[in-house]
Structure 1
Amino acid sequence: MAFQKEKPLHSLFAGATAGAVEAFLTYPTEFVKTRSQFGGKRESPIAIIRDTLKNKGFVGLYSGCTALVVGNSVKAGVRFVSYDHFKQMLANSEGKVSAPRSLLAGLGAGMTEAIFAVTPSETIKTKLIDDAKRPIPQYRGLIHGTASIVRQEGIFGIYRGLFPVMMRQGANSAVRFTTYATLKQFVQSTSRPGQPLPSAITFGIGGIAGLVTVYTTMPLDVIKTRMQSLEARAQYRNSFHCAYRIFTEEGILRFWTGTTPRLARLVLSGGIVFTVYENIIKVIGGRES
């Protein structure tokens, strides 16, 4: 597949804006997904929403939101810039990138965003959501929570779960970008050669990419959440031990806990992110021929 190169600063701005918009609009689904993946009694998405609204009100569904919005903004910016960079490196002499190379570019982009953006923001978000379950939460918000985590656990406290995050983000980006690029190329070549796609079609393709991503990477997401919970240090030695305990004590289906809310979020986020990104790039002229 051939590609048009985005200008790095334009790609960073468009990606960061798309990431922030997507994170805020879809955060309640992320909150429910994360709550459902903690150990202990299983809770259905409806029960989590009902309990949160009863005890915390609507704002309770946005516990830890600031951490994800900031992290998602940085993450999306890094993701699009690094993906474009890896595509350029892997393109052949004609400027085309095969599906396997696109998969590799997505993997590299996911690993990059996991290190620079995702792990700290996801760790803080997860701990804030876990803490919000307590009758008297110990964290008063993003800044206080981050300072408390660093004070109690050191800088590595916000990098807990780095390995499963890298695996999840690498798989996420590899599957999502490859699915999106392949479907976009197919639609353009069959029905709209040489023409930009309407936002509705871009949203639909992004949504399908999100759907495929959810089911292929869900186990990594569950392990990541467990490793970033408040009780992780006392329960799990590492990610492999965490996976082993989940499998032997709770069964293989536990790896797909939270699929419904994550599916809702990633299908929406896939559509939102790619649609916002494509439109911003178009408006600011950030794509080179």
Structure 2
Amino acid sequence: MSDKQTPIPFSVTFVAGAIAGISEILTMYPLDVVKTRVQLQDHTAVGNDRYNGMVDCFKKIIKQEGFSRLYRGISAPILMEAPKRATKFAANDEWGKIYRKAFGSTEQTQALSVLTGATAGATESFVVVPFELVKIRLQDKASAGKYNGMIDVVRKIVANEGVLAMYNGLESTMWRHVTWNAGYFGVIHQVKSLLPKQETKQGKMLNDLVAGSIGGTVGTMLNTPFDVVKSRIQNTTRVPGVTPKYNWTLPSVALVAREEGFGALYKGFIPKVLRLGPGGGILLVVFTAVVDYWKAMKA
């Protein structure tokens, strides 16, 4: 992501990633709520508890629970987005430097972009798991009478399931973030090499938007099955001595496919790709704009 002629300090990539992440979530959050609701419903959902796609989910949430429900739980993602996106871009930049040095490469090749993105995704996972857990619990329809906000979720999880329960779903989160970041950063590298070179600021921004949107779409295609099972794993209250239905990622993927069909692994794909496709473009454009501002201030 960084200009090889101008090394970008970790602090700059961290701040740029944080600003990019918050910009994206403020724009796209309702789609995330809808995505989670659709992913959590299994084959037993009926009546008003069943969503027949993205539009139906939007309509039922607004009609039954009010428009503000589309922003329920946003405090956790906002608190998460700064460290999450900052870690994503900063880790991608730092791991890129490490890999280029290790492999004796002066440039960020396609293979290194995929490897770097995957490693950055794994790094990012450790930051986001507790926030994701709180967000999923709040986004679930059943949470209305169960939790009174973010702090209450944390308090009840710790009290009822233990402190380590805040990291439930770490393994599935790593699967989700490794695949998305590998696809996102790998595709950005390839798409940018194919797009016409732009000399104007507006042209470069357009290239970033196109490359980031395509990267976000491909990343979403790769990681949605892992996202579906991650949502279900994290929404399961752990009971001592009882093995939850959804526990480890790959067995859970197989279970969903067996009980609900392969298509169920792509539940919530449309709102997810509508968020993370353009969202990936927003991320890249804002991140690049902040870095360019730093370069201009330094010059």
Structures share fold, TM-score greater than 0.5: yes
Instruction: State whether residues 188 and 211 of structure 2, in contact with CA within 8 Å, keep that contact through their aligned partners in structure 1.
Output: yes
Instruction: State whether residues 82 and 112 of structure 1, in contact with CA within 8 Å, keep that contact through their aligned partners in structure 2.
Output: yes
Determine helix, strand or coil for the equivalent of 2:108. Answer: coil
Determine the structure 2 residue equivalent to 1:198: 204
Instruction: After TM superposition, list the pairs within 5 Å mapping 1:93-108 onto structure 2.
Output: 93=104, 95-108=106-119
Instruction: State whether residues 2 and 93 of structure 2, in contact with CA within 8 Å, keep that contact through their aligned partners in structure 1.
Output: no
Report the TM-score when normalising by structure 2: 0.87
RMSD across aligned positions (CA):
2.4
Instruction: State whether residues 53 and 60 of structure 1, in contact with CA within 8 Å, keep that contact through their aligned partners in structure 2.
Output: yes
Instruction: State whether residues 106 and 175 of structure 1, in contact with CA within 8 Å, keep that contact through their aligned partners in structure 2.
Output: yes
Q: 1:61 aligns with which of 59, 64, 70?
A: 70
**Whole-angstrom CA distance in 2 between matches of 1:133 and 1:201:** 42
Q: 2:230 aligns with which of 221, 224, 229?
A: 224
Is 2:86 the partner of 1:77? yes
Report the TM-score when normalising by structure 1: 0.90
**Whole-angstrom CA distance in 1 between matches of 2:15 and 2:233:** 31
Instruction: State whether residues 123 and 228 of structure 1, in contact with CA within 8 Å, keep that contact through their aligned partners in structure 2.
Output: yes
CA deviations on 1:36-55 (whole Å, 9 max, x unpaired) are: 01123251212221121112
Q: 2:169 aligns with which of 161, 165, 181?
A: 161
Determine helix, strand or coil for the equivalent of 1:275. Answer: helix
What is the count of residue pairs matched by the alignment? 284
Determine helix, strand or coil for the equivalent of 1:254. Answer: helix
Q: For structure 1, which segment, 153-162 or 30-39, has the greater mean C-alpha deviation from structure 2 after superposition?
A: 153-162
**Whole-angstrom CA distance in 1 between matches of 2:207 and 2:260:** 40
**Whole-angstrom CA distance in 2 between matches of 1:192 and 1:51:** 45
**Whole-angstrom CA distance in 1 between matches of 2:296 and 2:21:** 17
**Whole-angstrom CA distance in 2 between matches of 1:109 and 1:196:** 29
Instruction: State whether residues 207 and 271 of structure 1, in contact with CA within 8 Å, keep that contact through their aligned partners in structure 2.
Output: yes
**Whole-angstrom CA distance in 1 between matches of 2:186 and 2:231:** 25
Determine the structure 2 residue equivalent to 1:16: 18
Determine helix, strand or coil for the equivalent of 2:253. Answer: helix
**Whole-angstrom CA distance in 1 between matches of 2:16 and 2:185:** 16
Instruction: State whether residues 2 and 8 of structure 2, in contact with CA within 8 Å, keep that contact through their aligned partners in structure 1.
Output: no
Determine the structure 2 residue equivalent to 1:128: 138
Q: For structure 1, which segment, 3-12 or 173-182, has the greater mean C-alpha deviation from structure 2 after superposition?
A: 3-12
How far apart are residue 195 of structure 1 and its match?
7.8
> What amino acid is aligned across from residue 122 of structure 1 in structure 2?
E
Determine the structure 1 residue equivalent to 2:264: 254
CA separation of 1:194 and 1:102: change in aligned 2, threshold 3 A:
farther
How far apart are residue 287 of structure 1 and its match?
11
Instruction: After TM superposition, list the pairs within 5 Å mapping 1:174-185 onto structure 2.
Output: 174-185=182-193
How far apart are residue 35 of structure 1 and its match?
0.3
Instruction: State whether residues 172 and 248 of structure 2, in contact with CA within 8 Å, keep that contact through their aligned partners in structure 1.
Output: no
Structure 1 runs (4+) greater than 4 angstroms displaced:
193-197, 286-289
CA deviations on 1:146-195 (whole Å, 9 max, x unpaired) are: 222122111222211111110110111111011112222333xx433798
CA separation of 1:141 and 1:166: change in aligned 2, threshold 3 A:
same
> What amino acid is aligned across from residue 213 of structure 2 in structure 1?
G
Unaligned 5+ residue runs, structure 2?
none
> What amino acid is aligned across from residue 141 of structure 1 in structure 2?
G
CA separation of 1:238 and 1:212: change in aligned 2, threshold 3 A:
closer
